[in-house]
Structure 1
């Protein structure tokens, strides 16, 4: 700072008696220059980086893309102020002002990044305030003292000491790794979805395996950053094995079952399947369960293991074409041949019914009241429902039967009473019970 004072003196610039004012003016000037440079950089590079991120992450770009310009602005200002802070040994007031501006921008930067990765608002606020406090403490020379105090608050377990500083470092590392994992996963998932050489099941399998690989890599990176010796965890390996063997065996079983389902491609997203009482199309195959959406809009979550052990009807495993059965009965007195022609015509009038294979009519039985037929039609979009096709065809058959006077019979029963106990029927009351005959009276 003495060089700056000498330079200003030689330039003939009058200096105030209290140099604290000069230190404050220099600090605010540096912060202003940093904010101006950050504004220019965010306007020049913000839109380009946002477009690049949207191309890389695709539909998963939301959140981070919306905050891209503000992230670049606060990041640029933080970098400029950090460089200015360490470039020279400033006065205390200058360090305080630069550190406050730097900490504020860095806190906002952390806030936007944490919120963009879908963390809760309170987590983002805590991370931003903590970042501001750390940078400001470092600017005024109090970071070492704060670290010393935090390190003294703790407990000793065996040969290891767990302090408040250790907990904070672990929490910050975990938060940063979670944010990085989410960002990398968005990029990898979009790249997998854009691949033209993979079918939907292979894309989903690659996405799940990539997620596992990213999480495992992040775990070991975190262990290395924190300097944790893995041999110290050997004591807990037995307990962890028991927990996995007893408490989490279903979870791991469903995970392995889900991977197997994706590898053999027996069930894929978009397939129409029936499992027990659940019928619908597969929305997604998760780590624990398969999501099936029914035609009623209800979403059934079926554990992956059930799909491996139970009988599953996959209507679209090898082909999307599905045959629908529709039962129809006609009167014995009608023209059977004409009724069959009308049923075929009604089936072909339905838009979703395929012309090839063409509809077929089977005479199934001579029933008690009707001649029963089975109308067989083919569709290729079972995910759109089957009941609506059946309803459409039955409606068309009804009106066409009406036009041609073809009767659809219904069961009828005739009750014949041969005789009454007293030779004549008795009047019935409103409750269906025979009324007693009125008593006869003699006239006096």
Structure 2
């Protein structure tokens, strides 16, 4: 490379970039104002855009009717179709401009289709960027991505990338062997954005694949999904560090020293993280299980790296730290199987036949829809003792759907017992007290005593 062409300062870089832009702008102005095929190309571009808009008006109804009939398509394909429908004019323009450009490249001089090629390239780039940007969920990041990619595509179409890259590379700071330039930062940001998007897409695809595999237990599905997520995002982090030019050896030594200090302040976080890994590996609980922890009763909605989400019957979602599930006693109503036995205690009068009471109670509990019967799940009723006011019984029955609630099934069984006892004439006693009124002589006798 000629040493005379190498800029010696940032000012020279700026002047070179401005000169490059000026040359390109003068060429563009000359293309527009000079009579001949240059102006003809501009007219052709305007006509193509008008035709594209006209085609949109004519065919939009048919395209919408065809799109509504695509009921069996996956969601990502339907979303892409909706995006194309919203940019139908641009789609028609891209197709017609590229077809005309390729045709003119073969039948006439290339200079007579140069402007059409530039505009066709920009239109295709804008369409592609608009579609790809939908993968970025964050609205602010999506706008930044759109504008950055549109500027980059415009520079490529106008052949200004080398001048701009040279200028941005000159805007830099150097610390020892570390050289960080504006161009390097922009490349790193774009690379990180693309890799993060790909990592998110890959993580979700892996989760869907794991969740659809019935041969893998739910806890292992969550563990594998978390492992894939850590690997992908860890690879993105390492790539970002290397792109910025940092030395990973120095970072490893520094992170080791800092990690010792931070570890003391993050004991609970690390404890919850390790507890979460243990829970996933020993499969003691899994999504969908019904658990009781203290006063909290509900089913597990999700297993996280730091906590477990438990949803109760009243719609509340409790975030229970993983450490609490390891150190405290947890009742898992559906750990080994989905069957749960419930016990109800009640009492009847001494005047009622115990044999009739037991038979009536079993018939009543069998009439409740969620109660199981037959085999080892047959309801039973036993006498548990003779109380002060009643004969005490316990009614035991089984259900297979604890996620639908326990209090409501108990209430339904109590109501069925009440109706059955009313029809059989069986009474449910309650404590009674007698109040005796003493005569005056008896009162005086008590006072003397």
User: Shorter-normalised TM-score: what interval?
Assistant: 0.7 to 0.9
Question: Any idea what SS the aligned residue of 1:318 has?
Answer: coil
1:118-133 equivalence runs, <5 A: 119-133=137-151
RMSD: 4.2
The residue correspondences of 1:134-283 to structure 2 (distance < 5 A) are: 134-153=152-171, 155-234=173-252, 236-242=254-260, 245-283=263-301
What displacement does 1:187 show? 2.5
Superposition pairs of residues 28-427 of structure 1, within 5 angstroms: 54=74, 67=83, 94=114, 98-99=117-118, 102-103=121-122, 105-117=124-136, 119-153=137-171, 155-234=173-252, 236-242=254-260, 245-356=263-374, 357-418=377-438
Q: CA deviation at 1:295?
A: 1.4
- Give the SS at the match of 1:342: helix
> For 2:384 and 2:424, how far apart are their aligned partners in 1?
22
**Aligned partners of 1:115, 1:290: CA distance in 2, in Å?**
31
CA contact (8 A) 2:180 2:245 kept: no
Secondary structure in 2 aligned to 1:246? helix
In structure 2, stretches of 5+ residues that fail to align are 1-30, 57-62, 444-449
Change in Cα spacing, 1:98 to 1:418, as seen in structure 2 (3 Å) is farther
Deviating beyond 6 angstroms after TM superposition, the runs of 4 or more aligned structure 1 residues are 50-53, 59-62, 68-74, 78-81, 87-93
Residues 122-161 of structure 1 show CA distances to partners (whole Å, capped at 9, x for unaligned) of 2111211111122223433444444445445555545434
Shift in CA distance, 61/135, structure 1 to aligned 2, threshold 3 Å: closer
How far apart are the structure 1 equivalents of 2:261 and 2:123? 44
**TM-score scaled to structure 2, two decimals?**
0.72
Uncovered stretches (5+) of structure 1, i.e. residues with no partner: 1-15, 424-444
Judge which range, 191-200 or 370-379, deviates more.
191-200
Deviation of residue 384 (structure 1)?
1.3
- Residue matched to 1:430: none
**Cα deviation 1:186-220 (Å, max 9, x = unaligned):** 32222223324223233222222222222233334
Compared CA separation, residues 92 and 174, structure 1 to 2 (3 A): farther
Residue 22 in 1 paired to residue 37 in 2? yes
Distance 1:237 1:350, change over 3 A: same
Residue 13 of structure 1 corresponds to none
Deviation at 1:285, TM superposition (A): 1.2
Counterpart residue number, 2:23: none
How far residue 419 of structure 1 moved from its aligned partner, in angstroms, is 6.2
